[in-house]
Structure 1
């Protein structure tokens, strides 16, 4: 990749007419980002595995799978900014090899498909690469990922930054925290469980999460492209970390049910998850509780967003109660809470 004439980053938000590529535009984050960029007046190209799942109008569609480099060709036209939102979540039936192909190898695969370097390549990773924490984490906290999803996402960061060192590709890493919002199918099960009074805390609900409403994340990702510094990592989170109990209580209030009180000790929850995962594999049905979910609900995943605030001007504006109410209302309006 020739990198001699890479345009410099501009200040402020992305401007209209900016030529952008969004990989993974049928996922929750990529879909919302692509829609926001189209609305801003950018010239948007999306790379998706299944165009039938795409609901973003106004974008040029390219079909391809980052896990299969032969499934799509090189992009001859130049892009000002590339956003890699493609990723494979660590669901109960996803293999480590599948996650390796998309999460670890996919970012460099995408970079190699560019005929000309963009002025910025924003890779959307996850705060989960840090692993469970003992204190508030920032971008300099050593990473100790737990599970294949987090490990492959960290490998994707490392491979892309190594590629950037050799090619000069201006890479910015965005690490979103616990993202939620209307249209997020992965948090729907949590809202349903609370609504149907089938939710139980793990370890008393003392685990810590860092909720981030999708609109704030989309704004933060655009700031990474507009003013982020090449080679830097930025944690994007909501206004503050909260306990799992506080998060679930907000959901209960939003869906008008009593706040849950039942709690399982962590060892019992892990035993239950083992049995339910085995049953899920035998019946080919997703289990209601998994080992990764037990870890998420009982560990510390709280972060500092000071670097993004100071360097990007990032300022999350949707508080937890408002975001949860908007999400619950959208689920209910779509008939998804039955």
Structure 2
């Protein structure tokens, strides 16, 4: 259930949400109007034709963030106090696209924000920037080193890490000492509009794949409801604006937000297959645990490897891969103590409620599509 009241908080001034029509971005826009109703919001996205109906009071700007002139035009007209940057290349994009969108696009946004006098810049990084795909991640915190290059199995994550570094290095730079930045590192975002985690799990259930479990289900994992991630971003923006008011003072290291990164999760690590079964239960599954087939990690890896090669010959991707086996059997959860202490962060919606909302959204969308086709 939700843990927060309904008292509106003062305006954040003018806020640009980059990627504000995407999954996380539009939830951030929703939350701004919910919690800071007097704030003026401009949404910047490559295409702004989705997720607009719930926020008609925002202005929408079709903008390619890799085009410096286009970005400068919007920023120059709107003159934002805050920029919240949620855009990255899609995980399956080619390396050149990751470089162009995630790294180059971020640098273009930073330069434009500095030039027009933005006070606060909040970047959406990723909790996976400290994950190497092999090492168990137990209560990982912000002191853990970034994992990039050859040590990082996902090029998407490498570029997210490089962009995060660029954002944090821009904080209080000699040329722009009043420009404050920070990074939010969310883990496993789920919720209404999720296109990666919940839809795949619902599909897996309908294919009968919920009958199988890989490993012993003793690996804790972080999943985070999207509104909690949006909440973390706005707390960060508030903190940066507060710090901006007391410039050039620099807060104590134990209180500082500008120039810092923060993990944001639900603070409820859950056993991976317990999470999956909670999703499947909301989908309609009522199969008893005694009917679940348990596959060892080694056996599943062998099968996944065989399937990858067999499906590669067919030009397709199998439902079981070695990467998926590792993902579903490794421990991966984070500490949110820093966010609690410095941002005042606490999840506003618990994980069980987040799962219910996310799956209900998928099922409602399916009904709406079915009715539309039947007309």
- TM-score normalized by the length of structure 1: 0.85
CA drift of 1:196 comes to 4.0
CA drift of 1:235 comes to 0.8
Distance 1:20 1:256, change over 3 A: same
Distance 1:203 1:69, change over 3 A: farther
Distance 1:325 1:272 in 2: 32
5+ long unaligned stretches in structure 1: 1-11
CA drift of 1:206 comes to 3.6
Tell whether 2:212 aligns with 1:184. no
Tell whether 2:193 aligns with 1:194. no
Distance 1:274 1:46, change over 3 A: farther
Distance 1:277 1:84, change over 3 A: farther
CA drift of 1:152 comes to 1.0
CA drift of 1:209 comes to 1.8
CA contact (8 A) 1:175 1:235 kept: yes
Structure-2 residue corresponding to 1:324:
355
- Secondary structure at the residue paired with 2:209? coil
Range with bigger deviation, 199-208 or 221-230: 199-208
Distance 1:28 1:130 in 2: 23
CA drift of 1:120 comes to 0.9
Counterparts of residues 115-154 of structure 1 (less than 5 Å): 115-131=115-131, 132=133, 133-144=136-147, 145-154=152-161
CA drift of 1:274 comes to 5.3
- Secondary structure at the residue paired with 2:278? helix
Distance 2:38 2:304 in 1: 46
Counterparts of residues 298-309 of structure 1 (less than 5 Å): 298-309=329-340
For the aligned residues, what is the CA RMSD?
2.8
- Secondary structure at the residue paired with 2:231? helix
Is the radius of gyration larger for structure 1 or structure 2?
Answer: 2
CA drift of 1:27 comes to 1.6
Structure-2 residue corresponding to 1:88:
89
Distance 1:152 1:270, change over 3 A: farther
Q: Structure 1, residues 93-150: CA drift from partner, whole Å, max 9, x if none?
A: x212211222223221111123323221000111010104342101111222431111
Range with bigger deviation, 62-71 or 175-184: 62-71
CA contact (8 A) 1:14 1:222 kept: no
CA drift of 1:191 comes to 2.3
5+ long unaligned stretches in structure 2: 1-6, 241-256, 371-375
Distance 1:278 1:121, change over 3 A: farther
Distance 1:291 1:117, change over 3 A: farther
Distance 2:298 2:156 in 1: 22
Count of aligned pairs between the two proteins: 325
CA drift of 1:305 comes to 0.6
CA contact (8 A) 2:71 2:109 kept: no
CA drift of 1:299 comes to 2.0
Distance 1:294 1:221 in 2: 32
CA drift of 1:216 comes to 1.3
Distance 1:259 1:101 in 2: 48
Distance 2:313 2:49 in 1: 30
Structure-1 residue corresponding to 2:222:
210
Range with bigger deviation, 131-140 or 308-317: 131-140
- TM-score normalized by the length of structure 2: 0.77
CA drift of 1:13 comes to 8.2
CA contact (8 A) 2:88 2:102 kept: yes
Structure-2 residue corresponding to 1:240:
268
Range with bigger deviation, 138-147 or 253-262: 253-262
CA contact (8 A) 2:138 2:333 kept: yes
Q: Structure 1, residues 254-289: CA drift from partner, whole Å, max 9, x if none?
A: 223126723444455445555666677777766534
- Secondary structure at the residue paired with 2:49? helix
Distance 2:108 2:205 in 1: 40
Distance 1:134 1:185, change over 3 A: closer
Structure-2 residue corresponding to 1:231:
259
CA contact (8 A) 1:20 1:81 kept: yes
Q: Structure 1, residues 22-81: CA drift from partner, whole Å, max 9, x if none?
A: 111122100111222234232111111112235242221222223444554442132111
CA contact (8 A) 1:48 1:64 kept: yes
